[in-house]
Amino acid sequence: MSWLIGYYDWIKALHVMAVIAWMAGLFYLPRLFVYHAERATIGSELDRTFQIMEDKLLRLIMRPAMITAWICGLLMIAMGGLDFGAVWGWAKLIAVIAMTGAHAWMAARLKDFAAGRNTRSGRSYRLANEVPTVLMIVAVVAVIVKPF
C-alpha cells in the first residue's frame, strides 16, 4: 500500500467526484419515484419513460459512482485517512453504510416499478428523499468539523 501514498490526493479527488455523482443520484432518484408514483399508470408511455430514466440513473451513474466512492474510500482508510480512534471516523463510516443501504432500497423500489408492483405513494418517496440529505450532513460534518 505504501506505493499508493504518492497518489493519495488523486484518490481523494476521485473519491470526492464519485461522492458528488452518487449523492446527486441519491437526491434525484426518489424525486423521479415521486412523479412516477403520482403521474404514471402502469404500462403507459410515461411509465416506460420513467422506468428508462430511473434505470439509467441507477445503472450508469449511481452504481459506478458508489463503487468508485467505496474503492477510493477504502484505499484512503488503508492509507490512514480515517481516524477510528475518534467518534467522527465511525460516524462517517456509519453514514456511508447507511447511504449504501438507501441506495439498495432505491434499487429495490426501481424493481418494483419495473414489475408494476409499486405500492408506495409519492409522499413516502418525498420522505425517502430526505434520508440521503441527513446522512450527507452527518458525513460532511463528521469529516470537516470533527465535532466528536
- Return the pLDDT at 1: 67
Reported as a single tens digit per residue, the pLDDT across 76-127 is 999 988 888 999 999 999 999 999 999 999 999 999 999 999 999 999 999 9
**H-helix or E-strand spanning residue 89:** helix 87-114
Can you give the pTM of this predicted structure?
A: 0.93
Going from N- to C-terminal start, the domains of the chain cover 2-144
Cα 29 to the center of its chain, rounded Å: 10
At residue 39 the predicted structure's pLDDT band, cuts being 50, 70 and 90, is very high
